[in-house]
Amino acid sequence: MSKLNNKVAIVTGAAQGIGRGIALELARQGAKVALWDINADAVAAAAAALREEKLNATGYAVDVGQSAAVDEAFARIEQELGPVDVLVNNAGISRAAMIPKMTDEQWDDVIQINLTGFFYTTRAASRSMKERGGAMVNISSLAGQRGSIGQINYAAAKAGVIGLTKAAAKELARYKIRANCICPGLIETDMTGKVLSDEKLRAQYVGEIPLARVGLPLDIAQTVSFLASDESSFITGQVMGINGGAYI
Ligand code: NAP
């Protein structure tokens, strides 16, 4: 028996990168996975690739920054797959600029997707999980724990996700809904592709990581799978760094 057998799991931002890795791992552990992404074609292709492996996966085009779209998608998934057991808030964007040059739009876009979007999905999931309990796993960032140059919007949103997780954990524990947070360090995905394809920059970043490598989506996915499962039934409101020791 796999640890997420027949659980219904939503993973946002699942067309690529960390979200796709999480969706794959949850499906391998037996979950019925709803992959969400803003990019309809890409998420359909990602779900189809999982089905090729005989896994239970369905793609949905959902912009987590749109409140009504999130509520509609939850209603649709409850109808098509059943009540939601697991929510993984992963979708995120980066719009980097130094503080004097950051525009209102760059600030607003990142707060809307990386923080307000997490609230929309958390609210919808709390309604869906109230009767049966459930698990939420929120993807924050090392930047939310220690700040990051050129990313005041991103660091503020990711620090907000830590507060959002703790508040959700406290408020929703009475319904047996758990909420935990993961702060990835540097993980190899499209978001970090530009930095990591520069050999000099890559060596510099790796030099700051005690375990001397960048992370892979699987490094995050395996912990998400644990936090989504009943193996972690006494863990809630926690912040877990997965960063090769970059923040100790
Ligand atoms: P990624 O490769 O850029 O993938 C993110 C996915 O989310 C993309 O498919 C993206 O679509 C989608 N997305 C963007 N806006 C969305 C929206 N409004 N609604 C639904 N989906 C949306 O990023 P990643 O590196 O896998 O990062 C995943 C999460 O981990 C993010 O929250 C990120 O902040 C966090 N994180 C990443 C790292 C790292 O080193 N990679 C480190 C710490 C934290 P488009 O491509 O079309 O925008």
- Whether 247 maps to a domain, the answer reads no
Question: Which residues, in sequence order, are CB contacts of 50 under 8 Å at separation 6+?
Answer: 23, 24, 27, 33, 35, 57
Q: How confident is the model at residue 246 (pLDDT cuts 50, 70, 90)?
A: very high
Predicted local confidence at residue 121, as pLDDT: 99
pLDDT digits (tens, 9 = 90+) for 152-189: 999 999 999 999 999 999 999 999 999 999 999 999 99
Backbone φ and ψ for 38, nearest 5 degrees, come out as: -70, -25
Predicted local confidence at residue 220, as pLDDT: 98
pLDDT at 50 over 80: yes
* Ligand 1 pocket residues where CB is under 6 Å: 12-13, 15-19, 36-39, 62-65, 90-93, 113, 117, 139, 141-142, 184, 186-187, 189-192
CATH number for 49: 3.40.50.720
- Whether 3 maps to a domain, the answer reads no
Q: To test the ligand 1 pocket, which listed residue (36, 39, 114) has its Cβ within 8 A of the most ligand atoms?
A: 39
- Whether 51 maps to a domain, the answer reads yes
**Average pLDDT of 211-217?**
97
For residue 216, the enclosing domain spans 8-242
- Whether 32 maps to a domain, the answer reads yes
**What is the H or E stretch that residue 76 is in?**
helix 67-80
Predicted local confidence at residue 44, as pLDDT: 98
- Whether 125 maps to a domain, the answer reads yes
Predicted local confidence at residue 69, as pLDDT: 98
Q: How far apart are CA 241 and CA 85, in angstroms?
A: 24
- Whether 90 maps to a domain, the answer reads yes
Q: How far apart are CA 100 and CA 121, in angstroms?
A: 32
Which of 224, 227, 151 lies closest to 192, judged by CA?
151
Tokens, residue 204 = 């510099």
pLDDT at 49 over 90: yes
pLDDT digits (tens, 9 = 90+) for 119-135: 999 999 999 999 999 99
Tokens, residue 205 = 């970043």
- Whether 1 maps to a domain, the answer reads no
- Whether 2 maps to a domain, the answer reads no
pLDDT above 90 covers what percent of the chain? 98
Active-site residues, by number, are: 154
Instruction: Tally the domains of the chain.
Output: 1
